[in-house]
Structure 1
C-alpha cells in the first residue's frame, strides 16, 4: 500500500540520518502534491508514523521527527491518535471477524473442489461467484443476469477499468462538486476533465447536469446515489428518474457507484434499473462487510459490454482475488453477508446517535445507517486549518479539499465513525473536535 511505503521510506531516512531527529515535516498537503498521491494517503501515512512513534505533533507548531526513537517503547504510547479519517465500516462486537474469516477460508479449502480457489481464474470472475453476485444484488437491482456481471478486485479497480473502457484523455467526466477522491485519482491518471456539478441535500442537481450536458459535451456521469461520499446525500426516487431521463436525452453513460445501499433498510430504485442501457453499476463489499475482502461486482449494460470490460480487467488486475471471491460467495449462500451488513448498519446507527449527542447544534449532514458524516464548519474556521489542528490534538479527519472538484470548496470536513475501534475512542475523538470547533480559529497570524 502507498501509505506504508511512505512510512517505511521515512523510517529508513531517520535511521540512516538523512532526516534529523527534531526536524519539522512539511504540511501534509505539500507532501501529497510532491509525491503525486491523495491527501488521504499522506494522512494515513502520518497516522501510522505516529503510531510507530516516529513523529509527534506539537500544538501550534507542526509535526516533527521525534527526538528519541526508543525501540522498547510501545508504538504510539506518547501520542495516541484517534483516526476518524478512513471511511471503513465498524466491526460490530456480534460479528467475530477473527473467527469467521479463518473458518470460511478453511471451509472453502476443505471442500472437494476448494483448491481451485488458489488457481488463476477468468477475468470476469468464476461462474459460481457471478451467479452468487446476481442473487445477492437481486434484492435491490432487478433483472441482473450473470452474463452482465463481473467480479473485480474492489471498487477502485472497477472504477478505473470502466473509465478506461469508456473515456479517452481529454474527455469530460461529470461528478458532484464534492466527490470520492478515488475518482479524482482516476481522472488525473487518465487525463480526464472532471467537471463539477452543483449539489443540494439530495446530491447532484438535475438543472446543473442538463446545463453541463449542453455546454461541456460530457461522455459520462459519476454518481453515488445512496449515502454520497462525502456529503451523505441520498437521491430521492424522483431525483433519480430525472437524472436518468437527462442522461438518456443526451446519451450520457452513467457510472453508478453504490457501496452503501446494503446498509439502508429501504430499497430505492437504482440508475441501472432506470437506464439499464447506459449504466455501469458498481457494488463493493468494502463498505457493507470488510475492505479485506477486496471484492466488488460490476453490472454492465449488456453481456457484450461486460466482455469488453473483462478485456480491460485482464490487462490491469487480471482477476479478482479468487479466495476472497469464493469467501464472498460462501457468505452470500449461507446468509452471513446480509447478517454482517445488518450488524454494521445497526452499529452505524448507534455511532451516529453518539455523534449527534456530542456535536449538539453544530450543522452536519448524516445518514443514520452510514458510517460517516459531513461537518460544516463555523465561519471562523477553514477546513484545512481545522483538519490540521485536529491532527495536532490527536484526531485525524479529512478536509473538503480532498473531495473538491471545484476551485473553492465549501468549508467542511468528513468524519468517519466506523474506523474507531470502539465507541469510547469515537466519543473521545468527537469530544476533541467539538471542543476545537468552539475555539476561535488558531490559524490567525500576527500582523507586524
Structure 2
C-alpha cells in the first residue's frame, strides 16, 4: 500500500507523538475517513518499517497497540488485516440509540403540522414543476426568502450574494475547489468536521491544524502561518463547533478576522449549528465581509433529509464565480426540498420548528447533566452534542469505548474522526438528537457512564 505508507510517513514527520502510538491513531483515522476499509491487508512489519524509515521493534510495538485497541487482527501465515466494524445501528430510534450522526431532536409536537404542510404544498403545486430543471442557486423568489432568513445572522447579505444549494457539504466541496488548488493549504482548528477532512483528501488539498485553546485557533499561530506560508483559506466552525461544542467568543473572532484581512486570506465560515443558540457573537462574515464565505443550512438544525444550504459570498462577483463551481458539482438543489424550505420560512413553520428543537435540546442537556453529574464534559445548553473526555484511569481508549458501546446498541464517535493534527484527545462525541425519546437518551447515557466506571469491562470483538 505505497500510497498509505507515504501518507503515514508525512504524518509521522509532522507529529511529535512517538511513532508506535501514532501509527494506531493513523489506522483509526484512516478507518474513519474511508482511506482504509474492513479486511484491508496491512504491510508486513519489515516492509512497513522500511517504508516509514523506522526500526522493526517500533513498528511491532505499533501493531501491538493497534491490536490492543481492536483495530487490526494478525493471522498466522496470512498477514495483518484491518478489523471490520460492529453491525450498523439504525439511523433512527429503534433497537439501538444512534448517537453518532448529526441528528437534531425531533419534537413530536410538530409531526402533524409538518405532515399537513407537506401535503398542502403537494396539493397546490404542479408536480411537473418539481421534475424540471430549476434556476441555479434558487429562483429570485427563493433567494429573497433566504435573504430575509439569513439577515438575522449576516445583516448585510443581499440577493446577489446568496445561493441556494443541496446541503452544506456540497457547498464546502465547491468552496475548497474554488479557493485551493491541489497541494495548497487550508488552515483550521485541531478538531474539525470530518467532512472537511474527506473533501480535502479527495481534492488533494493539505490541511494545516492551528494550535488552539478553549476559545479556538490561536491568533499568533494563524499570523505566523500567514507570514511563512500564506494559506488558501481559513476554515472555521465558530458556533457550537463540531465536535467540541465550543462557541468562539467575540474577541477571538475579531483577532482572527483582523489577521485574515491584513493578509487577504479568505474565510470559510461553516455555521451549520448557528441557528440553535438564541444569541451568538458576530459572524465572521460581519467582521471580515470582503473575505468571508458564510455557509449555513437546514439539515443540521432541522433534519438531515432537508438538504438545503444557503451561501453568502463576499461580493456578487465572487458569488457568481462560486456558482460556476457549484453548478459543475451539484447541478441544482432538490426542487421539493427548496419548496419546503421556502414555504416553511415564509409561513413561520421554520421558526416554530427551531424553537421546538431548541427547547428539546435544552431538556435533553438537563437529562445529561443529571446522569453525568460530577463528570467533566463540554456541551452547550441549546445544542445537541456532548464532548465527553475518556478518563485515563478508566482503562478505555476512545476507539475501544466507541466499539464496546456500539456492541451494546449505542453509537458514539471517537475523537480520531475529528483530529486534524494527528493527536486526537481522549474523548468521544455523543449526539443527543438520535434517540427518539428522552427516556432513551437517559438510558443510553447511563450505560455510557456505567461503562466508564466499570474497571472490569470486557472488550467486545469486532466482526
Match of 1:221 in 2: 234
Match of 2:308 in 1: 295
Q: Pick which of 186-195 and 105-114 moved more.
A: 105-114
Q: 1:443 to 1:188 in 2, by over 3 A?
A: farther
String of CA shifts for 1:152-196, please: whole Å, max 9, x gaps: 100000110111111110110111100000100101100111011
Q: Pick which of 361-370 and 123-132 moved more.
A: 123-132
Match of 1:22 in 2: none
- Choose which of 372, 384, 406 in structure 2 pairs with 1:391: 406
4+ runs deviating over 4 angstroms: 29-36, 61-66, 112-115, 441-444
Pairing 1:73-92 to 2, within 5 Å after superposition: 80-92=95-107
Residue 117 in 1 paired to residue 130 in 2?
A: yes
Instruction: State the superposition RMSD in angstroms.
Output: 2.8
Task: Structure 2: state its 5+ residue gaps.
Answer: 1-23, 39-69, 74-82
Cα distance in 2, alignment partners of residues 175 and 423 from structure 1 = 35
Q: Please state how far the C-alpha of 1:81 moved relative to its aligned partner.
A: 2.2
Q: Please state how far the C-alpha of 1:33 moved relative to its aligned partner.
A: 4.4
String of CA shifts for 1:266-311, please: whole Å, max 9, x gaps: 1421111111110000011012211111100000111111111111
Match of 2:18 in 1: none
Q: Please state how far the C-alpha of 1:400 moved relative to its aligned partner.
A: 0.3
Task: Structure 1: state its 5+ residue gaps.
Answer: 1-26, 43-57, 67-74
Pairing 1:29-108 to 2, within 5 Å after superposition: 33=30, 37=34, 80-96=95-111, 99-108=112-121
Cα distance in 2, alignment partners of residues 250 and 350 from structure 1 = 44
Residue 429 in 1 paired to residue 426 in 2?
A: no
Cα distance in 1, alignment partners of residues 338 and 116 from structure 2 = 15
Cα distance in 1, alignment partners of residues 375 and 408 from structure 2 = 20
Match of 1:7 in 2: none
Q: Is the 8 A contact 1:148 1:299 kept in 2?
A: yes
Paired positions, count: 388
Match of 1:49 in 2: none
Match of 1:203 in 2: 216
Match of 1:259 in 2: 272
- Choose which of 332, 344, 347 in structure 1 pairs with 2:345: 332
Q: Please state how far the C-alpha of 1:314 moved relative to its aligned partner.
A: 1.4
Cα distance in 1, alignment partners of residues 292 and 35 from structure 2 = 27
- The alignment partner of 1:151 has SS state of strand
Q: Please state how far the C-alpha of 1:104 moved relative to its aligned partner.
A: 2.9
Q: Is the 8 A contact 2:451 2:457 kept in 1?
A: no
Q: 1:397 to 1:324 in 2, by over 3 A?
A: same
Q: Please state how far the C-alpha of 1:32 moved relative to its aligned partner.
A: 8.5
Match of 1:70 in 2: none
Cα distance in 2, alignment partners of residues 421 and 110 from structure 1 = 30
- The alignment partner of 1:366 has SS state of coil
Q: 1:117 to 1:369 in 2, by over 3 A?
A: same
Cα distance in 2, alignment partners of residues 247 and 65 from structure 1 = 44
Cα distance in 1, alignment partners of residues 283 and 378 from structure 2 = 22
Cα distance in 2, alignment partners of residues 306 and 325 from structure 1 = 19
Cα distance in 2, alignment partners of residues 234 and 92 from structure 1 = 24
Q: 1:237 to 1:145 in 2, by over 3 A?
A: same
